[in-house]
Structure 1
Amino acid sequence: MPPSLDELLAHSQKFLEDLRERKEPTLIVSHYDADGLSSASIFAWIFLQLDVPFHLVFVEQTYPDTLEDLPFKDYSYVIFLDLGSGYKELIREFTSNKKVMIVDHHVPSEPERWDHLVEINPYLVGVDASTQTSSSTLSYSIALRVVRADENLIPVALAGALGDRLDIGEKSSLLGLNRAVLEEGKKRGVVGEAISLRLFGFKRRPLVEALASTIDPYIPGLSGNPTACIKFLESIGINPRNGDTARNIGSLSHAEIKHLASELVKYMISMNVNVKEAEKIFGYNYFSLREADSSPLKDLREYAYVLNALGRLDQYGTAISLNFGHRGKYIVRAEESIKEYRRLIAKQLNNIVEQRSARVVSGRATIVFFIEENMPKLTGPVSSILANEFAQILRNTGNKIVGVASPLEGEKMKVSFRRLDESVNLGSLLQKYAKELNFVGGGHPAAGGALLDEKILEELLKRI
């Protein structure tokens, strides 16, 4: 860990030690995706160890309307997790007389300091927080400094990082602080990694189901199509069944895995997937060593998917319970939520692909699809899938950015953006135009979001 990051994290220790001494009830505000849920779980665990009462709230973002509804008047201490760095000016308006800590890894807004603010964002000390850290691994590192951290929090922290797709190193490996937490987990015997096929839920799902469920990377013609997956496997000489039993990855020999990986890469290239994207089918897998092979939390990428599904279906209690180690009925609830989440995502994607969407708006280099229903929590995952599945098609029509929009209450809408060209820094672009056009927006270089009305969206698309 860079010394500068270590020094930054030390500021959180003083903040939390002060809380330990005062036993002051604290408001914790967190984002609801995998990274936010993991961060919130780790902080809930910290506060239980400190014996400090807390009120945990999950929000879409620190929008003005959201901040107005939060019970700041009841608390002297406020913590923001996986959000806040890009909206410090707004936060200051509502918390100027509070002691505030922000733990975030999104591109921060210009320095906005006040006496009682502690901001833990690696960007502030020259670390690329959008690739090297997640809010969850930052939260785990903070836990290490304040209390005796539970090693079972390590898979939780890594699920948060993987949920933000921070496995961007060679062969889909984790980098920076995320890698450091992984190495700690390996040393403690709680997590493992292995280079193999990167198929979704490969530890527990039958081979055909794992192949059909894989969308990162997206496999044209196979992702979402079990029948086509069976035909593909048979065409390359791999029998998907052993008698009456469906085969899984564990039943394949080393030679079969190597052959399958090679044939998948060749197939994807033949379907106009670029070589770099096609080669992502083979790389590092991460898994919890203390989880049963049959569990949806075994494969840490699937764990992240479970948390994202629960967060977007408002099942926060189930997510926190799973992160605290509870299983049983919570696993059953999670499995049910995954089915519903996949159904909702598939419906929105089908509407877009089959051109049944409410509207499509194009700009100079951006295309935005509208979701008919008021489902702002689905704009992020739908935009990510579009950016993966249809990147080449969208680029061929001159687009460098794709967005998905959903109406909110009143005249506002939420738009989630994903870049299609690595030369684009979405977080910085959205922050710049947010000031010029008076809307709320920001994010990471590769992904961002905005809260704005339709007229401003049209002007934004003219400028980007």
Structure 2
Amino acid sequence: MQKLLGAGEPDFFERCREVGDTILSLDNPLVMGHYDADGLSATALVANALKLKGRAFEVRTIKRVDDKLLSSIPAERNVVFVDLGSGQADLVEKYFPKAIIIDHHPPSAQTGLLQANPHAFGYDGATEASAASTAYFCFKHLDNPRIVELGIVGAVGDMQDQEGLRGLNAIMLGDSVESGVVLRTRDLRMFGRVSRPLVWFLAYCDEPFLPGLTNNDKACALFLHKHGISLKEDGKWVRYYDLPPARRKELQTALINYCNEHGVSAEATASMIGDVYIFLKEPDGTELRDAYEFSTLLNACGRHGKPELGISVCLGEAGAYESAHEVLLEHRRAIRSGIFFARKHAFDAGAFYFLDGRGEIPDTVIGTVAGAYFNSGLVERNKPILAFSNDEEGNTKVSSRGCKALIEKGLDLGEVMRKAGAEVGGVGGGHNVAAGCSFKPSAENERLFLKKAKEVIEVQLQLR
């Protein structure tokens, strides 16, 4: 809920419009955004707005805002930060006092910068607005379908749809449904609804992990045959959305019964059904048709060193989708491999589950793997998961994931990562439900980091 404002103060929507209009007035702005799905969606949304208005611009994707980055940019450039910057606003202002920020992370300091940030208006940037949905409100007046789609893609990519889109996200969704751009429906939330043949739709499912079906094509084919569902029609593989609504409902029921019979947790089973968002103006049978699959496509590009390709997809550039689809296949293979490694090697460390993926799981997917394992139904979600990997600079990268129930009990992984990171001279932060850190590798640093993380989590969850 928006906080009470003083007389004459702009509300969130007025501030967003001011930010949007100011960006559209800039001469050849440099738009810099984060490389994850929400960051790419938001950055591409800003780029689309500038493109619609015929404005020249430059786009760059970045991992962090620091002195090294800021000092490398000519001081006379007009700069726009997207999905980052609020946490380093004082540093940004030092280099670029006229910079503009669109972000949903908590601001670290009061500055004179022009910012669109839900936290400044009493909204929760972890659950009610992503960077892309914030950017949507900056440019919604342009009345463009792709801007609407990217706002939703970013929110879904930031996992703000776990119980349906809420807060500012819900307002955005209402606009999109009313305009005929988006269809919202209750359905299976598994990846591949739109783009995969039914056998692979089931065989590649890892949230939740389906015992006996996941990674077993033959068993999936037999399961479908048992329930009277054809694998092919007129020589073509049948996808989930090719099925009539009644048959989709039957498959949903069959999968839920299967999960109940094979020991999948009630929570994981219930999470299989929820709101899904179909983009009615996008090509059928492609990842662009479904918000979750679109966000996964962008995440794959960002995590595999090709964030600009993801932005090209969003801008509709020729050949970009086909190239991104190949990256997505590589991404899904890496995640599947990582999850099977996690099944064998993750363990209960008391205050948290721990997965050491160094040398086995790339840092580009360690967070996704940790989240997928945590949500797979293979473990009880009564404590968060922390996972280690090695980043490109040889540092130890930590990814952590929690869930709503833990947040309600007091868990704040952003605080855990900040405090544990500070203990070893590292840099950490993020949201309460998902956060990360990096630090110089050594046995002593690892011991101190995990010890401090354990202490903070135990205090937050009142375990001590």
Question: When the two structures are superposed, what TM-score results if normalisation uses the length of structure 1?
Answer: 0.84
Residues 113 and 251 (structure 1 numbering): CA distance in 2 closer, same or farther, change over 3 Å?
closer
In structure 2, give the amino acid aligned to 1:73.
P
After TM superposition, the structure 1 = structure 2 runs for residues 226-305 of structure 1, keeping only pairs within 5 Å, are: 226-242=217-233, 245-305=236-296
Residue 345 of structure 1 corresponds to 335
- The answer on whether the counterparts of 1:387 and 1:402 sit within 8 Å (CA) in structure 2 is no
Residue 126 of structure 2 corresponds to 130
Tell me how far apart the structure 2 counterparts of residues 221 and 11 of structure 1 sit (CA, whole Å): 52
**Deviation at residue 354 of structure 1 after TM alignment:** 4.7
Q: Does 1:184 align with 2:184?
A: no
In structure 2, give the amino acid aligned to 1:26.
P
Tell me how far apart the structure 2 counterparts of residues 232 and 240 of structure 1 sit (CA, whole Å): 11
Tell me how far apart the structure 1 counterparts of residues 79 and 46 of structure 2 sit (CA, whole Å): 12
In structure 1, give the amino acid aligned to 2:110.
R
SS in 2 for 1:306: helix
Residue in structure 2 matching 1:442, options 424, 429, 432 = 429
- The answer on whether the counterparts of 2:389 and 2:396 sit within 8 Å (CA) in structure 1 is yes
RMSD: 3.1
Tell me how far apart the structure 2 counterparts of residues 62 and 376 of structure 1 sit (CA, whole Å): 19
**Deviation at residue 237 of structure 1 after TM alignment:** 4.5
Count of aligned pairs? 443
In structure 1, give the amino acid aligned to 2:103.
D
Q: Does 1:142 align with 2:141?
A: no
Residue 145 of structure 2 corresponds to 151
SS in 2 for 1:129: coil
Q: Does 1:62 align with 2:65?
A: yes
**Deviation at residue 269 of structure 1 after TM alignment:** 2.8
**Deviation at residue 361 of structure 1 after TM alignment:** 11
Q: Does 1:427 align with 2:409?
A: no
Q: Does 1:221 align with 2:220?
A: no
Tell me how far apart the structure 1 counterparts of residues 214 and 276 of structure 2 sit (CA, whole Å): 19
SS in 2 for 1:458: helix
Residue in structure 2 matching 1:392, options 379, 385, 391 = 379
Residues 18 and 394 (structure 1 numbering): CA distance in 2 closer, same or farther, change over 3 Å?
closer
Residues 292 and 377 (structure 1 numbering): CA distance in 2 closer, same or farther, change over 3 Å?
same
Residue 332 of structure 1 corresponds to 322
- The answer on whether the counterparts of 1:80 and 1:103 sit within 8 Å (CA) in structure 2 is yes
Identical amino acids, percent of aligned pairs? 28
Q: Which runs of 5+ in 2 are unaligned?
A: 454-464
- The answer on whether the counterparts of 1:154 and 1:190 sit within 8 Å (CA) in structure 2 is yes
Tell me how far apart the structure 1 counterparts of residues 352 and 190 of structure 2 sit (CA, whole Å): 32
Residue 415 of structure 1 corresponds to 398
Question: When the two structures are superposed, what TM-score results if normalisation uses the length of structure 2?
Answer: 0.84
Residue 105 of structure 1 corresponds to 104
SS in 1 for 2:288: coil
After TM superposition, the structure 1 = structure 2 runs for residues 23-172 of structure 1, keeping only pairs within 5 Å, are: 23-49=26-52, 53-62=56-65, 67=69, 71-88=72-89, 90-91=91-92, 95-106=94-105, 108=106, 110=108, 112-115=109-112, 117-144=113-140, 148-169=142-163
Tell me how far apart the structure 2 counterparts of residues 404 and 389 of structure 1 sit (CA, whole Å): 19
Residue in structure 1 matching 2:11, options 1, 4, 7 = 7
- 1:233-276: per-residue Cα shift (whole Å, max 9, x none)? 23445444458554333454544333322221222233333223
Residue in structure 2 matching 1:367, options 324, 348, 354 = 354
- The answer on whether the counterparts of 2:104 and 2:119 sit within 8 Å (CA) in structure 1 is yes
- The answer on whether the counterparts of 2:75 and 2:96 sit within 8 Å (CA) in structure 1 is no
Q: Which runs of 5+ in 1 are unaligned?
A: none
Tell me how far apart the structure 1 counterparts of residues 44 and 256 of structure 2 sit (CA, whole Å): 38
SS in 2 for 1:11: helix
